[in-house]
Amino acid sequence: MEETTPQSSSSCVCADKCVCADKNTCTTGRGICRTHCFGRRPLRIVAAIIAFVFVLTILAWCDRSLHLSNSSYTEKSMKNKVQAVFLTNGQVYFGTLSRNGFDAWRLTNAHYLEKSQVPAAEGSAEMKTQTTVKKLTQDMHMPEDAMYISHKNILFWQNLQNSSPIAQVIASGK
């Protein structure tokens, strides 16, 4: 016959039908005490983990949307410079790059290189390729002076030196 401890108001019955008198130790009828009846402690631990994960998610979102970490420093160093933006389709654009939300970039004062065939010399039938820097707003469809590019379409970007011929053309406003 098994011994049982009378249940008090501060005791609980565990899964293996032992009685925990003080909610810390569990005594079975065989005289074995265990410390596995924790009352509501597992629920508190799970709630604390969920709250911790929730707070981390909110902090990560704030950092990403408000640019509080290293990406903010990178953007500040980009602000007064001209960038060359290389896209996955082979096109290259020049201008001032800045973040636009989570997964997009904004290129303002956008320019690109345009190649055209011109005569090598006056009266000559021989043609040569001439490359010019063209402002995006000068296109036939006259877009606004900003491009929005998905981060998936950007292969990489570089800051141009102020002495770069392209940076000088862009700075002159031509």
What tokens does 110 get?
A: 């956008």
Q: What are the C-alpha distances in Å from 75 to residues 28, 47, 56, 64, 94?
A: 65, 38, 24, 13, 16
Check residue 173 and give its pLDDT.
78
Q: Could you tell me the pTM of the whole model?
A: 0.55
- How confident is the model over 97-117, as a mean pLDDT? 87
pLDDT band at residue 1 under the 50/70/90 scheme: very low
Residue 59: its H or E element: helix 41-66
Tens-digit pLDDT profile for residues 19-48: 555 555 555 555 445 555 545 567 888 889
Looking at per-residue pLDDT, the higher value among 71 and 1 belongs to 71
Do residues 157 and 92 make contact, with C-beta atoms less than 8 angstroms apart? no
The structural domains of the chain, ordered by start, are: 12-63 (no CATH), 79-172 (2.30.30.100)
Tens-digit pLDDT profile for residues 43-88: 888 889 999 999 998 888 877 666 555 555 555 556 678 999 999 9
Check residue 20 and give its pLDDT.
59
Across 44-48, 78-82, 101-105, 115-119, least confident range? 78-82
